[in-house]
Amino acid sequence: MAHRRTRTLLTWMQERAGESFLFVTSNDVTGLPPELLRKGRFDEIFFVDLPNDQEKPAILQAALTAHGRKEHNIDLEAVCASCIQFNGAEIAAIVEEAMFVAFADGGRQITTEDLIAATKTVVPLVKTMGDKLVRLREFGETRARPASTKKAVATGTSGFLDV
């Protein structure tokens, strides 16, 4: 079934009559068929790594906003400093964890401390799937452009895995 869908997509890409914009995402590009990844198939392939120190606060702020929480009482930088090697979903998940704790504590608003405590309940995917991430990064370094600029990457507390 997957081969038929791949053939259909490739045929459409080759034979389409008008202009189009195709945006494709994959959690594991190494599992895609090689005919989909050959040079020239897509104009560009970007590798989105773990969020860097400049991206983490924006992700946290978006998660707070999505849950109707005001970030003006939250020290975003302090929370993000505890999100070492977290992906975006893991950063967003700490908001829900902090909300559960605050609700159980009388329904109060979440605090910076709640969020930092929630980071300690997360085992980052980097730790559980580190070998896979190394392979994906190797692909990204040789076959794709980075989605983040290098100068945005800090050392130490960045989301990037040092292997």
Query: Per residue in 113-126, pLDDT tens?
Result: 999 999 999 999 99
Residue 19 in any domain: the answer is no
d(CA 89, CA 63): 9
Query: Per residue in 63-91, pLDDT tens?
Result: 999 999 876 689 999 999 999 999 999 99
Domain range enclosing 161: 44-163
Residue 102 in any domain: the answer is yes
Residue 32 in any domain: the answer is no
Number of domains making up the chain? 1
HSE of 67, CA atoms in CB hemisphere, 13 A: 18
Q: Is the whole model's pTM more than 0.95, yes or no?
A: no
d(CA 83, CA 54): 12
Q: Which of 49, 34, 43, 33 is nearest to 13 (CA)?
A: 43
Alpha-carbon separation of residue 4 from 1, 8, 69, 92 (angstroms): 5, 6, 45, 36
pLDDT at position 99 is: 96
What CATH number should be reported for the domain holding residue 140? Answer: 1.10.8.60
Which has the higher per-residue pLDDT, 19 or 163? 19
In the chain, where do the E strands start and end? 46-47, 145-146
d(CA 50, CA 158): 9
d(CA 163, CA 160): 9
